[in-house]
Amino acid sequence: MSAISVRSTEHPMAEINITPLIDVMLALLLIFMISAPLLTGKIALPLSNVKDTSVPRTVELRIGADGRVLYNDGALSRIELEAQLLSWAGQGDNKPILQLRPDSATTHQYLIDVLALARQTGIEGISIETPR
Domains assigned to the chain: 58-128 (3.30.420.270)
59 close to 99: Cβ distance less than 8 angstroms: yes
Mean pLDDT across 15-28: 90
Kindly report which listed range (35-49, 73-87, 93-107, 108-122) carries the lowest average pLDDT score: 35-49
Residue with more model confidence, 2 or 68: 68
What's the average model confidence in pLDDT over 35-61?
Answer: 76
Q: What is the reported pLDDT for 52? A: 62
pLDDT at 2 over 60: no
pLDDT-derived band of residue 3, with 50, 70 and 90 as boundaries? low
Tell me the C-alpha distance between 37 and 127, whole Å: 40
pLDDT tens, residue by residue, 99-112: 999 998 999 999 99
Q: What is the mean pLDDT of residues 71-89?
A: 89
Q: Is the pLDDT of residue 23 over 90?
A: yes
Q: Is the overall model pTM greater than 0.85, yes or no? A: no
CA separation for the pair 102, 111 (Å, rounded): 7
Sign of CA dihedral 23, 26, 32, 34: negative
Q: Hey, which residues does 54 pair with through a beta bridge?
A: none
